[in-house]
Structure 1
Amino acid sequence: MMNSKNTDMVEIAGWVHEIRDLGGIRFLLVRTRDDIVQITFSKRKVSSELIDKVKTISRESVIRVKGIISKDERAPNGFEVIPNSLDILAIAKSPLPLDPTDKVVAELETRLDQRFLDMRRPKIKSIFMIRSLVVRAIRDFFYKKDFVEVNTPKIVSIATEGGAALFPISYFDKEAFLNQSPQLYKQILMSSGFERVFEIGPIFRAEEYSTRKHLNEATSIDIEMSYADDNDVIRLLEELIIYIYRYINTNADRYLKTIGIDLKIPTRPFKQVSYDEAIEIVNLEWGDDFGSLEEKKLGSVIGEHYFIREWPLKSKPYYTMPLEKDRKILSKSFDLMHPRVELASGSQRINDYELLKKQIEMRGLNLDNFSFYLDAFKYGMPPHAGWGLGLDRLIMTMLDLDNVREAVMFPRDRRRLVP
């Protein structure tokens, strides 16, 4: 916190980032949310009482200082503060379990264990300031596109995707699950006439992965759009990615510099390859899915954001619109890929009641479990399409982070439930 009533007198409140003692002069570098400010305690300019008081302060203690600004090109931001009062608000214990100055490097697990200290580091704090701006950009984009923001249930009675990667919970006298996706509810909203909806919220996948790109609780950006097909929502997804990159380049320059990132804005249109073309590049059999090695190879060949389209129908969820092509049963589906990782998945959806029932039965799922969902298709469901985009992976790839956990304040994976 930094307040100023005039051009000379200021009030600074924050953490003691560093202490430098040069004998007759002591410098405190005080870290606020946005800056690091130098407070200079010189025997020639500061009372002996304040000199004695400052000697009792440890690194990462919380203080409040009132003083006069003095220009000094050697100081951070080109000025220092000469204090006339000092309040010690909280003393930090020593030694610190983590070094917020980055002089001592800590492993990621140590950083996550001490996340409150880790996020005091200017570089790490900048990641989450950018993440906040990304969420703001997303909302700005969709409001401009006349979308309605919605909130769907996170406690559900069935598996959204029909799979086994579910977290069961005790719900009074019933079994329930944490939701894998808002998919069923955003489709129901298409039947309700909202036409364009988006949601930014948590999703839960009980997958036993321990990789740099997987989380068990993630944040997803989901949209659904009536009177649209897969081509329409692909264009929308491209526009959103470009909008976010431009927004961050314009509004987050200081944070990008702190992280050390020169953000390159992707160019439209993104490249598109069919599933058949993609498996030929990575030498897979038809019907196979892509693992990390195949994703890496594709990314190295294509070299930028790209779409994989027309996946085999059997590899996509039951609500995906079928597509017959070259005597193959494909789907009107797509994945948005970054050279490092998959970012989004989407499709045109089935809007015909009988076809949807048939696809659910073909997957071996119980129709009775989907009655609340299927009811929305009985009485006039417009054609529609949509996608889900992983916010955490988007941040990871934008900022060139090594691990998706670095893009999440308090990540949840198969081993981490605290902090």
Structure 2
Amino acid sequence: MDDRTYTADASPGDAVTVAGWVHEIRDLGGIAFLILRDKTGKIQVKFEKDEMDDEMVETALDVHRESVISVEGTVEEEDRAPTGVEVVPESIEVIAEADAELPLDPSGKVEAELSTRLDNRTLDLRKDEVKAIFEIRAEALRAVREHFRSIGSTEINTPKIVATGTEGGTELFPITYFGEEAFMNQSPQLFKQLMVGSGLERVFEIGPIFRAEEHNTPRHLNEATSIDFESAFFDHTEAMDVCEGIVRAAYEGVAENCQEELEALGMTEEFDVPDDAFPRLTYEEAIERINATGALDDPLVWGDDLSTEAERALGEDVGSHYFITDWPSEIKPFYIKDHDDDPELSTGFDLMHPRLELVSGGQREHRYQHLIEGFEQQGLEPEAFEYYTKMFKYGMPPHAGWGLGAERLIMTMLGLENIREAVLFPRDRQRLSP
């Protein structure tokens, strides 16, 4: 519709054609109002029954909510209208009639369970507050890409069908690939490492990852979007600097360009861009602080991973984004480099939000023989990863990087209760459709 006017652009005196969904109809006897909604907002259409064509009025009042319509008319100023203007119609066309019974109420007056919303995601996104989440997600990813480019990072796209898993075979989705077994990739980790050994040197990717974890929690997905970074001639501290900059850039982009969306979510007053440097706690300091809170029945000891309860206790104690550094080597993946002066300590780090983990990263092992030994120590067959390991024979520079969960970033940024609210069509143990 070349001549269509968005509702937000309708000004008094304009002759317009507006098109969208029927949000609400109010019949007050001699006068009736239809609220039309499009992507930019809502506008009131006024029907004075005695002065208008009976057929047009009847069409307007009989149409079901959420039907798609087009209205031609003139815009007039009206202070009592929700947006200060209204359309006096000359014609109305019903483009696509909606069923009278809807599986959920897009006006939001009647609440729906999350499962019902996800089953009817198209209708769900007609609600301002739900649409706002995905406008914010899009802006955050745009800001992230812009920041990556500003530091000389090249965007790449790596395979999602692989012969071997990044971290072994325990959490892989197997598929049949022309009669052979293959897997959905858990991470672009090995491929982005190969790229820092190429002429690109510094790369990032935003793409899907697949984890066959049997979790059924508000914070886990089986298909997620990972924001990945890797740079040659970087150590783990420099990688943390970039990670902090990326998170801050996402918040800044949303604060600058998504005020209407934040308002729809009721967050204009409480949305804060993190401006202080993120604290960096060693693993040892982290477990000492967790134990000091008294939140756990059994104190943590060296080598323990951090449970959800431990993360929550530390998050409440710190109160902001923070890093955990210098993890024990034995609980980090084979490709994480150990400290040269202490092989019991790795250069691995996690970025934490007070609610949950956002990022895992570290400096990578770039020395061929040490890499092979790392495979063997974790019970993996180096031969299965020869496409990866052989490139370390041909001049692999020191490098570091990380992976950030996009849905977790949005979930924590907006205070969402369930990570499924931050993804259009979630994939988990129970959900394969839509």
Q: CA deviation at 1:44?
A: 5.1
Alpha-carbon distance in 2 for matches of 1:160, 1:74: 61
Q: CA deviation at 1:131?
A: 1.0
Q: Which residue of 2 aligns with 1:260?
A: 266
Q: 1:145 to 1:328 in 2, by over 3 A?
A: closer
Q: Which residue of 2 aligns with 1:280?
A: 288
* Contact preservation (8 Å) 1:2, 1:32: no
Instruction: Pick the aligned partner of 2:115 from 84, 109, 126.
Output: 109
Instruction: Pick the aligned partner of 1:76 from 79, 82, 95.
Output: 82
Q: Which residue of 2 aligns with 1:318?
A: 334
Q: CA deviation at 1:45?
A: 4.9
Q: What SS class does the counterpart of residue 176 from structure 1 fall into?
A: strand
Q: CA deviation at 1:324?
A: 6.0
Alpha-carbon distance in 2 for matches of 1:354, 1:74: 76
Q: CA deviation at 1:48?
A: 2.4
* Contact preservation (8 Å) 1:150, 1:197: yes
1:325-364 to 2 correspondence within 5 Å?
329-364=344-379
Q: Which runs of 5+ in 1 are unaligned?
A: none
Q: CA deviation at 1:84?
A: 0.9
Q: Which residue of 1 aligns with 2:208?
A: 202
Q: Which residue of 1 aligns with 2:318?
A: 302
Q: Which amino acid aligns with 2:207?
A: G
Alpha-carbon distance in 1 for matches of 2:349, 2:5: 48
Alpha-carbon distance in 2 for matches of 1:125, 1:2: 20
1:20-419 to 2 correspondence within 5 Å?
20-43=26-49, 45-262=51-268, 263-283=271-291, 284-323=300-339, 329-419=344-434
Q: 1:5 to 1:24 in 2, by over 3 A?
A: closer
Q: Which amino acid aligns with 1:381?
A: M
Q: What SS class does the counterpart of residue 87 from structure 1 fall into?
A: strand
Q: CA deviation at 1:43?
A: 2.2
Alpha-carbon distance in 1 for matches of 2:391, 2:80: 67
Q: What SS class does the counterpart of residue 136 from structure 1 fall into?
A: helix
Q: What SS class does the counterpart of residue 40 from structure 1 fall into?
A: strand
Q: TM-score, normalised by structure 1?
A: 0.97
Q: 1:5 to 1:69 in 2, by over 3 A?
A: closer
Alpha-carbon distance in 1 for matches of 2:10, 2:37: 20
More moved, 20-29 vs 390-399: 20-29
* Contact preservation (8 Å) 1:46, 1:82: no
Alpha-carbon distance in 2 for matches of 1:351, 1:328: 15
Alpha-carbon distance in 1 for matches of 2:18, 2:104: 24
Alpha-carbon distance in 2 for matches of 1:405, 1:351: 37
Alpha-carbon distance in 2 for matches of 1:8, 1:42: 19
Alpha-carbon distance in 1 for matches of 2:70, 2:394: 64
Q: CA deviation at 1:328?
A: 6.7
* Contact preservation (8 Å) 1:162, 1:317: no
1:153-207 deviations in Å (ceiling 9; x for gaps): 0000001012500000001121000000000000011111211100000000000
1:294-326 deviations in Å (ceiling 9; x for gaps): 11111100001000111111111100011266x
Q: CA deviation at 1:18?
A: 1.1
* Contact preservation (8 Å) 2:32, 2:47: yes
Alpha-carbon distance in 2 for matches of 1:86, 1:66: 6
Alpha-carbon distance in 1 for matches of 2:203, 2:19: 42
More moved, 295-304 vs 16-25: 16-25
* Contact preservation (8 Å) 1:45, 1:82: no
Q: What SS class does the counterpart of residue 81 from structure 1 fall into?
A: strand
Instruction: Pick the aligned partner of 1:16 from 12, 15, 22.
Output: 22
Q: CA deviation at 1:332?
A: 0.5
Alpha-carbon distance in 2 for matches of 1:379, 1:328: 25
1:28-62 deviations in Å (ceiling 9; x for gaps): 11110121111111225533231122122000100
Alpha-carbon distance in 1 for matches of 2:134, 2:427: 17
Q: CA deviation at 1:281?
A: 2.0
1:102-147 deviations in Å (ceiling 9; x for gaps): 1111111111111111111111011111111111111111111111
Q: TM-score, normalised by structure 2?
A: 0.94
Alpha-carbon distance in 2 for matches of 1:123, 1:46: 36
* Contact preservation (8 Å) 1:167, 1:204: yes
1:197-220 deviations in Å (ceiling 9; x for gaps): 000000000000011110000000
Q: Which amino acid aligns with 1:338?
A: H
Q: What SS class does the counterpart of residue 47 from structure 2 fall into?
A: strand
Aligned residues: 418
* Contact preservation (8 Å) 1:156, 1:176: yes
